[in-house]
Amino acid sequence: MVEKDRRAEDSGHRGLTHGAGDAFPLPTPAPTRWGAVWALFGAGLVCGAYLTKVAPALPLQREELGVSLVESGLIATAFNISGSLLGIFAGGLSGRLGLRATALAGLALLALAGALGATTASFPVLLGSRFLEGVGSLMFTVSGSALIAAAATNPRDRAKALGLWAANLPAGGGMGLLLAPPIIAAWGWRGLWWALALAAGLGFLLAARLAPASARSGKSSLRMIAETLARPGNLVLAALFACYASQWVSVMIWLPTFLVDERGMTAGRAALLTAFMVLANAPGNIAGGWLLSRHVRRGPLVIAACALMAACAAGMFGPWLPDGLRYLLCLAFSLCGGVIPAAIFAGLPGYARSSGHLGTANGLVVQSAQAGQFVGPLALAWLASHFGGWGATLWAILGFALGGALCGLALLRIERTAAR
């Protein structure tokens, strides 16, 4: 199963020999629909910006709406709650409704919920709109990678297209962090909400025009979920995403606090450096897709990425290096880690039971990633508060990296078994 994409790719440029050397070339695969890939990627950028838009807006929201610090935390995390609870169920639903219909419904909900948040003066309504935004983003995300796999009809392009898809969260999130301050300065936090609601609406129109059609599954959602959970490759990819998200998101969340509290930086400069750290992940996503398209094996690639992230973390959290070098290691940490989401999304078509199971498999890995985003930052905060500062958090990062490397070993074993 893991090797089928490679065999299909090879078939695009080799012939079968018959009789006395006559060559009968196999049918040339249809060209990849790059317009659809870019349209879906663009909508994914909007989802990434929705994720990060709250951080720069919270001070104004607290002042205008009179919300407490705890309530601000709820606004920030409500977006992730849906993914951590409903990911695999949203994937099963996409099989029943169809991938394209689910993706479009998600973008429509994203735009409407953003508009609702922009017009409210009530904390409960704003909180509810953030939860609905998370549901809309989840519906689009669990369908998006499967739609991109369907658009990449040439197997040569599939890993590259899915590597590009993996970059939507860091690229969109980083762009959101960079663009939010000038938009808020000009039009307030509501202007930011309206701008992204309009962007989600534009994403809906482009996806409606360019996204490939998809068939509905005749199976029940619960059966799709059970069959997805029965595939070892899906479970390993989900565990890998949880280990990766735990360390990468933890560094992203706590880097501004570390720079302000420990290094005396201004909040604006800390936010800018964090945005560059987030953006550094996107080239890693694209590079991961390119390496996989060049037949670099998934298991060793994951192991190498986890080892590099661990090495960078050791330098980042060690006090013996100057701050400039530690920040460069932070960028390298994000860049090297970027190949892991690409390896996960590119691996789903090979490990899924069928193309109809792709949405459910994607929902599983997204749910695991959301769980990692919840556990990782809490683990680092607990270690920092109980064991003498941020240096103690290195052990959590190394533990997550070790877990990811073990997942890489499991993938290598699965690939070797499938190749026999």
Q: What is the pLDDT of residues 5-36, one digit of tens each?
A: 444 333 333 333 333 333 434 456 678 888 99
Tokens 């929705």 found at: 50
Which CATH number do you get for residue 304? 1.20.1250.20
Residue 90 structure tokens: 């949203």
Q: Is residue 17 part of a domain?
A: no
Cα(111)–Cα(385) distance, rounded to whole angstroms? 39
Q: Is residue 160 part of a domain?
A: yes
Host domain of residue 395: 34-419
Q: Is residue 325 part of a domain?
A: yes
Question: What's the confidence (pLDDT) of residue 218?
Answer: 57
Q: What is the total count of domains within the chain?
A: 1
46 in Cβ contact with 199 (< 8 Å): yes
Quick one: which of 260, 264, 366, 243 has its CA closest to 309? 243
Percent of the chain as helix, strand, coil, to the nearest 5: 85, 0, 15
Task: Kindly report, residue by residue over 338-347, the tens digit of the pLDDT.
Answer: 999 989 988 8
Classify each residue of 355-392 as buried b or exposed e, where b means 16 or more C-beta atoms within 10 Å of its C-beta. bbbbbbbbbbbbbbbbbbbbbbbebbbebbeeeeebeb
Q: Is residue 7 part of a domain?
A: no
The size of the chain, in residues, is: 420
Cα(11)–Cα(272) distance, rounded to whole angstroms? 47
Q: Is residue 41 part of a domain?
A: yes
Task: Kindly report, residue by residue over 183-228, the tens digit of the pLDDT.
Answer: 988 998 899 999 999 999 999 999 999 988 765 665 666 777 788 7
Residue 303 structure tokens: 């192991």
Record the pTM. 0.76
Quick one: which of 128, 410, 65, 21 has its CA closest to 243? 410
Question: What's the confidence (pLDDT) of residue 256?
Answer: 75
Cα(232)–Cα(351) distance, rounded to whole angstroms? 8
Mean pLDDT, to the nearest integer, of 282-288?
90
Instruction: Give the residue, 55 or 69, on which the prediction is more confident.
Output: 55
Q: Is the pLDDT of residue 4 over 60?
A: no
Q: Is residue 179 part of a domain?
A: yes
User: How many DSSP H helices and E strands does the chain contain?
Assistant: 17, 2
Q: Is residue 412 part of a domain?
A: yes
Q: Is residue 24 part of a domain?
A: no
Question: What's the confidence (pLDDT) of residue 376?
Answer: 81
Cα(330)–Cα(253) distance, rounded to whole angstroms? 13
Task: Kindly report, residue by residue over 316-340, the tens digit of the pLDDT.
Answer: 887 788 888 989 999 999 999 999 9
Instruction: Give the residue, 49 or 219, on which the prediction is more confident.
Output: 49
Burial of 70 by CB count in 10 Å (0-12 exposed, 13-18 middle, 19+ buried)?
exposed
Beta bridge partners of 23: 17
